[in-house]
Structure 1
Amino acid sequence: MRAWGRGSLGSLLYRRALGEAVATALAVRDGAPSTGPAPTYAQVQALVDGPGVTCR
C-alpha cells in the first residue's frame, strides 16, 4: 500500500481558474468563442446558498 502525503489543491485550483479566465479574456478580445462550460448564475447562487454555508 502506498502512503500519500498530505497535499493542498488550493494553488492548483487558483492557477487553473486564472488560466481559464485569461484564455476567456483572450478569446473575447480576438472575437473567438470561449470554450468549455460556464456555470449559470443560478448554479453559482446554489453553491452560495448550499448547506453548511455560514458566511452571511
Structure 2
Amino acid sequence: MVYSIVETAKANNLNVFMYLVHLLSQLPGVDFKADPSLLADFMPWSEKLPDYCRKVK
C-alpha cells in the first residue's frame, strides 16, 4: 500500500517525503468515516494540497 502511495505521489510530481509527512500528520485528525469526501483533499492530484508537498519546478 505504501509503495502505491509513493508511486502515485511521484506520478503527480509531488515531493514524496513532504507528502507523506502531510498525510501522516493530518489524516489522524480527519473524520473521514463520517464524511468520506474529505479524503479527496488528500489525494496526490488534489489542488488543495499545501505547496510544500509539490516539487519546485
TM-score (norm 2): 0.28
Larger Rg computed on CA atoms: 1
Between 1 and 2, higher relative CO (CA 8 Å, sep ≥ 6) is seen in 2
TM-score (norm 1): 0.29
- The structure with the largest helix share of the pair is 2
